[in-house]
Every structure is written in C-alpha cells, then in structure tokens.
Chains A and B, each alone.
Chain A
Amino acid sequence: MSHPRTVLVTGVSRYFAAQAAGRLAADARVDRVLGVDVAEPTGELTELLGRAEFVRADISSPAIASLIEDAAVDTVAHLAVVAGPGGAGGRDAMKELNVIGTLQLLAACQRSKTVRHLVVRSSTAAYGASPRDPAIFTEDTGLRALPRGGYAKDIVEIEGYVRGFRRRRPDVSVTVLRFAPFVGSRADTTLTRYFSLPLVPTVLGHDPRVQFVHADDAIEVLCRAVVEDHPGAYNVAGPGVLLLSQAVRRAGRVPVPVPDPGMTAVARLARRSGLVDFSLDQLDFLVHGRVVDVRRLVDDFGYEPRSTPVAFDDFITGHGMGAPVSPGSVDSVERTLASGGRALVAGLRGLLRGGGAE
C-alpha cells in the first residue's frame, strides 16, 4: 500500500489525538492532516497540532461524511474514544461520543470511495477482567464475561462495529490498536491520578498484575499504524508486568487494602461526588488485573514499547513521586539497622567469650 495522502484524525481537542495529528503532519510521507473535533483545541494543544489543520465537525453527525468526501480523505485515524465520563461531561455524553460517534464515522467511511485505511483506538479493556480469563490475553482471546464498567462496554461495542465494517468493506485495511492504560512523564489519566493519591486504596486480598504503555510509545505505534499498513488487531502495551502493590510502593505511596464490597461503595461514592473519576471497570482491573501479549505488535511493527516497569518509573520521576519511602531513605535506615545489628552481634559475642573464659 502506498503512503497516505490525506489523513483525518478525530478527537483532536484531547492531548493524545492532538499530539498524533501534529506528529503525522510533520511526517514527510503524509501530505495533509485534518484534525476534527466539536471543540477547538486550546492552549498547548494548538502548538501540538502544528501543521495539522483543525476542522470543527461532530463525528456523530452526517456532516462528517461530506468532509471525508470533499477532502478526499484516504486514511482515517479514529481517536475520539474517551475513557472516563469526567472528560466528556457525564456518562451519557461519553457514551454518545464513543458509541454513536464511532457508528456515524464508520457509516461515513463505508460510503466513502476514497477511504482505504482505517485505524481505530481501542483498549485492552476489550478483554474484560475476570477470574476465568487466561493470565495473558492475545489478540484472539475471546471475551468471557461482559464487563460491568461503562468504558469497557463502549469498547466492546466499538470493536463490534469495527468488525461489522471490516466485513462490509473488505477492501479497506483496518487496524485496531488495543492500548494498555497510558503512563509517562506527562500522561494525566484516571489511573495516574489514582497513583498520585497519598494513600492508595487497593482491594483486600488481591494483588493484580497491571500493565501500562508509555504515552510516547503509544504515539509512535499509532503513527506507524497510520503511515504503514498493518491490518488486524494489535495489543499495545509495555512488555512485563508490575504487581499493583509493587507499583504503589514504587510510586512511594502507601497501599490501603479495602475489602471488595467496601471498595465498590467507595468507587460509586467517589464518582458521584466527582472527586475522583473512577469507574467499575477500573475496579475490576484493580481486582483481577490485565496482561496482554505484545508479540504480534513487536513482530509486525518492528517496534518494542518500553517495558511496563520502565514506563512506570518514567511516570514516577516525571510527576516527582516516589517521595515518602524513597530508596535513599531506605538505604540510610538499612545502614543504621545493619550497624546496630553488627554492634549487637559483636556485643553478644564478647559476652559469650567473657562467660566462656570464666
């Protein structure tokens, strides 16, 4: 497949999509990048967009079809998928954007004669998280139980529409990127805010394996998916895992185990109060964890994202975390204890020898 000429990027009033549009616009292999969203990107995001042109359009309206036709868009990067109700203005608006937006956009793509390539942002939430799941998900692992959280339900629906589109338009190359939760020196998501809490609530008796992808690696993979041709679904995550307790400790935070029913109540309360944007699928994630196999990505893209521990360490240093229980302070405590222990041993030995001499 030849390189894309005109790329349409959705959701550019958000950080990830704006950054991706800017990067693609700077790529010599791409002629033109159109960034669409209902709201105009502000401040820092306009800089990120760079040479990409902003077009105000609502993807959940038929207007998007004429935009695609007029600009002769050949590649669509659908990134207007939001993870939490907070950013979209409530759960209803979030569902509207995620599900109806995707539905309309895919309808427009199906009608289009110019679109040859579609890249969709999905999430590893598509696999759910349950005790009956295998420890490591490959792209072919089926969903065992319908997830209970809003975001995961949206993702499952989106993937369903994409499957339908692929069936109806087999000539269009479709890439689905299932991203693990983002971390990085700059990433600001529900999960990064969770790790920033001074006392981090965890679920009692569960220490799930968690996996992240560095935000910079996510951008890199996305741009490669747009410019190159890799049809199919790909897991995008940092290889390796961290245990939740391990991650909390690395962040210098103190884990506070809460029994599961209490945790559900806390999550509901937190969401209603609007203090923390926390949904039930994230809770399932904190109970059972989610680990994916990235071999297909590494083999086909020729790119290996930073490992999960490395990405997480970058997040910690980028946010100036790791403070209360830093390795340095542990070092000094260890030295003090070791010398104390040594003195004790020496003293005991002296005492024993004294007793033996008598």
Chain B
Amino acid sequence: MTDVPADPSSGARRVGRTAPEPDASRTGSGAGDPVGATPGDERTESDDSAVTSGVGRVDSDPAGSAAEHGGAVDGASDNTTVPGDTDSTDADSTDAGSADTDSTAVPGDADSADVAGDGAERDAGGEAAVPGGDVWERRVADGLAFLRRRITGDYPVDDFGFDPELTEQVLARSLRPLYRKWFRVEVSGLANVPSDGAALLVGNHSGTIAMDGMMLQLALLDEHPAHRHLRLLGADFIFRTPVLSEFARKSGATLACNPDAERMLREGEIVGVFPEGFKGVGKRFADRYKLQRFGRGGFVSAALRTGTPIVPVSIVGAEEIYPLIGDIKPLARLLGIPYFPVTPLFPWLGPLGLVPLPSKWLIDFGDPIDTSALDVDPDDPMDVFGLADQVRETIQQTLHRLLLRRGTTF
C-alpha cells in the first residue's frame, strides 16, 4: 500500500506539474494573436468550457467583466488542462477510452476537483473529443513531457525497481492489442481481488512463454476498479538473463523467494505467483490443463506469515498459444535455458513461429482463502502442503468448469 499507489499518484502529479508549462505558453499564443483564423476557433472552444466549468469556479465568476475576460479564458484553459490530462491518461490506461471510464481516472489525478468540477470536466472532455485538435496537441505535450522525464532520469522507481510509468505507458500499451484483439481475454470474479491492501494471487502456469503472467497483470491494471498493479514473482532464471531481468524488474516483478514475497505483501501489494514454475509453463501440449506439482509451498507460508488472503486464479487459453510438442534438450543446455521449445510453428517458421495462436482466454479469480482466520502454523510443512493442495484443487476444478464454458479453443 505504501509504495505503489503512492508512486503512480506522484507520477500523475508530475504530469500535472509539467503539463501547465506548454499550456501556459498555449494561452499566451492564443492571447497573442486573437485575430488569427484558427485561434478564433480555439477561443470559442475554451469559452464553451468556461461556461460549463464556471459552475465549479464560483470564485472566479464575481470578477467577471470585460477586463477580466482574459482572466476567465485563462482560468478556463487552466481548467481544461485537467480534463485534457485525465483524458489522455485515461486513453493510456484504457485504449478504448469510453466516456464513462473517464470518471475513474479523475479522482486519482485531480485532487482539488470537486464533484461539480467533475461533471463539468466530463462535459468538456466530451466536447474536446469532437474537434480532435486539442486532444492531439495535449498528446504531443504529454508525449514530450514523458520523453523529457525519461531522458533526464526524473521518474520514481520503488525499492524493487518497479517503474510504474514505463509499465503503464510503454509495456501495458504494447500488450493491450494482444489482450483485447488477439486473445479476447474475458475476466470474471474481479471482486475477489481487494481494492486496497495485499493479496496473494496463485495461478496455473502454461503456454511455453509466460504470456499468462503478462495478461494477468494487464487484466488487473485495466479491468480492476482500483487499477491495481500485479507484482509477479519470477524464477532466478529470469533475473540471470539479460534484457529479461531488466524488464521483469521494471514491470514490478521480483525473485520468487520468501523475503521478497513477504516484504511486498507487508507493503500491501497484490502479488502473483505461479507455483508450478517451469514444470507448468514448459509442459507438453498433451498435458494441457493438468496442474503440475506446486513447488515447495513457499507461497503458502508467505501468505500465512503476513496474514494475507490467497486468491486462486484459473487461466484458460494460455495453453494453446504455443502448443509444445517437443523439447530439444541439448540445445536448451547449450543456451542455458530450461527447455528449447518445439511447437507446430517454431522453430520451423523462424520468427514467424513466435506469433502466438489466437486462442480465446478466460481468467477467473476464485473465492479468497482468508489465511489470517486459519489456525495453521506457517512452519509446519504438513499444514503448508495441505493448504497448497487445497488451492491447487480449487484451480484444477475451476479450469474444467471454464473449459466447458469456453467451448471451442479459438
């Protein structure tokens, strides 16, 4: 709770702080040549928003006169930066950017905006979307502000190296088309993931390449009402591998070990773990949807020690993206990787074989297991294995149910 929600908000605040600069220059240029043909159009727009947002700005209204008109425009454009900001950040987090999801981004961004301002903003946002010009202008400004922060190194990361800005602006954006259009992920049971505080998400692992982790992360970021960041736990192989290790840390992952898991849970994070590990992700296509052994049950003791709920997560669809039909073991040993996958398309088609098959995905978040209410000793292996098996059984049964619901694979 302490780090991550603080980070995005501070990042958002930073956006707010840098955005007024270009905006100020914009009003300057707008006031500078009021006789120009196009600026006139801009002025009517901002006047419109001045009317709508005027409801919220009681204090600026009494000053209204011809001389103060400039001030009103100033105030209005000042106000329009807020919907613009929320609009563009919203477009970041949900690409489809429908009008009703606007309101979700507003509370995080505009601390000072009251309810009336909220309504006015939404109006102004709707209006701004029609002409299209201002939106692009703001996107250019936002993009530049983003680039500036990246070039000067002026962005926050938490102690694990999680870079919320990069995750939201770059990684999530590049995966979103895959999530929406390619796998058409359907999510159920999101209410089982708390909006506030820690939870340990335990899922089934599959798909040759761990795409399920990324899709699960995006599901929580986009579809959960609190837009929560999932902090995945990864094998040491990931943190040994160049490039992979860099992006794993920046996207919020850390090594699957008890100290890290417990630290994150104590900080109130949503932590995700795939206890099957490489046994799950690297299993043959013939064994699809058969859960493998659940490691050493370390995740159970982490949840027990921190008193966090365990949420079983069942993922259907990842099994079919790269059907693993073989494993070239000598090549894997040579390259130092856990397995060298052979799929119907890879390596035969070269890079083209890396395109995942467009299977239909279902992700279900099951009923949470309240570990704080259990009378279980985290240091008693029998208790730990018992609880791990219970989670495993739940996921296995849900998988069968989801498979029936899905029907055809694609």
Contacts and interface: CB of A to CB of B under 8 A. Distances in A.
A260 interface: yes
Chain B's interface size range is 35 or more
Interface stretch (A10-18, A107-115, A164-172, A241-249): A241-249
A272 interface: no
A241 B159 contact: yes
Contact of A335 (B25, B131, B147): B25
B22 interface: yes
Interface stretch (A150-158, A180-188, A199-207): A199-207
A250 B153 contact: yes
Nearest to A289: B161
B157 A131 contact: no
B136 A131 contact: no
A358 to B, nearest CB: 16
Contacts of B31: none
A135 B145 contact: no
A325 B144 contact: no
Contacts of B158: 241
A289 B249 CA distance: 12
A103 interface: no
Contact of A349 (B38, B145, B244, B249): B38
B151 A330 contact: yes
Contact of B245 (A205, A246, A341): A205
B249 to A, nearest CB: 7
B148 A334 contact: yes
Interface string B222-260: 000000000000001001111111100110001101011
A338 interface: yes
B140 interface: yes
A342 B29 contact: yes
Contact of B249 (A134, A207, A246, A345): A207
A51 B250 CA distance: 49
B140 A327 contact: no
B255 A132 contact: yes
Interface in B115-162: 131, 133, 136-137, 140-141, 144-145, 147-148, 151-155, 157-161
A136 interface: yes
Given A207-B246, A334-B145, A342-B140, A135 B260 contact: yes
B163 A131 contact: no
Contacts of A242: 153, 157
A326 B151 CA distance: 9
B341 to A, nearest CB: 21
Nearest to B22: A338
Interface in A320-349: 325-327, 330-331, 334-335, 337-339, 341-342, 345-346, 349
Interface string A262-299: 00000000000000000000000000110100000000
Nearest to B241: A205
B242 A260 contact: yes
A134 B137 contact: no
B26 interface: yes
A141 interface: yes
A246 B157 contact: yes
B349 interface: no
Nearest to B23: A338
A267 B21 CA distance: 44
Nearest to A291: B159
A243 B163 contact: yes
Contacts of A87: none
Contact of A249 (B153, B159, B241): B153
A149 interface: no
Given A131-B240, A345-B137, A338 B144 contact: yes
B263 interface: yes
A133 interface: yes
Contacts of B145: 334
A3 to B, nearest CB: 36
Contacts of B151: 249, 325, 330
B250 A207 contact: yes
Contacts of A46: none
16 contacts: A131-B240, A132-B255, A134-B255, A135-B260, A141-B259, A203-B242, A243-B250, A246-B157, A249-B152, A291-B159, A327-B154, A334-B148, A338-B140, A339-B25, A349-B41, A350-B37
5 closest Cβ contacts across the A-B interface?
A205-B242, A249-B153, A131-B239, A341-B140, A246-B153
